[in-house]
């Protein structure tokens, strides 16, 4: 086990990454859906291949457009979001002990707060999946 995991606020749900070196995507998202689910002006997520994620505990799912987000059934903490178009599962980077730094900003045209220029590429929407 890698030691990379996210726990909910009450401890009922744990999401573990089976191979921490396989983080393949990290982005700051400014879309209205991410702002809504997090209650903040943006969401910073780290993504791993879907087969590298192990979830224990009871979650509930919430669908927004084509995104399905999973939260703890007891305390409501947002836990993860599978992104099948990209073959990854996103975890809240700010809750990881050693998050992968952001590789890009996405949905910048929807931003309610512009972060200072950090030299990271910015996209008005989501760039297309690789391949």
Fold of 4-110: 2.170.150
Rounded to whole angstroms, the Cα distance separating 49 from 86 reads 9
Q: For residue 1, what pLDDT is reported? A: 43
Reported confidence tier of residue 131, pLDDT bands at 50, 70, 90:
low
| Inter-residue contact 45 to 90 (CB < 8 Å) | yes
Q: For residue 2, what pLDDT is reported? A: 58
DSSP states along 80-92: EEEETTTTEEEEE
Q: Provide mean pLDDT across the span 63-77.
A: 86
SS3 content of the chain, % helix, strand, coil (to 5): 15, 40, 45
Q: Provide mean pLDDT across the span 73-91.
A: 92
| Region at 116 (left for phi over 0; alpha for psi -120 to 50; beta for the rest) | beta
Q: Provide mean pLDDT across the span 68-85.
A: 92
The domain spans of the chain are 4-110
Reported confidence tier of residue 42, pLDDT bands at 50, 70, 90:
very high
Which pTM was predicted? 0.86
Q: Provide mean pLDDT across the span 33-47.
A: 89
């Amino acid at each position: 086990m890698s030691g990379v995991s996210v726990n909910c606020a009450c401890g009922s749900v744990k999401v573990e990454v089976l191979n921490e070196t396989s983080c393949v995507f990290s982005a700051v998202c400014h879309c209205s859906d991410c702002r809504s689910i997090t209650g903040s002006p943006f969401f910073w997520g780290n993504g791993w291949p879907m087969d590298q994620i192990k979830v224990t505990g009871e979650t509930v799912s919430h669908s927004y457009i084509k995104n399905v987000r999973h939260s703890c059934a007891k305390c409501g903490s947002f836990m993860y979001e599978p992104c099948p178009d990209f073959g990854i599962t996103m975890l809240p980077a700010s809750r990881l002990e050693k998050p992968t730094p952001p590789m890009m900003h996405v949905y910048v045209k929807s931003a309610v707060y512009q972060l200072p220029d950090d030299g990271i590429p910015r996209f008005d929407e989501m760039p297309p999946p690789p391949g």
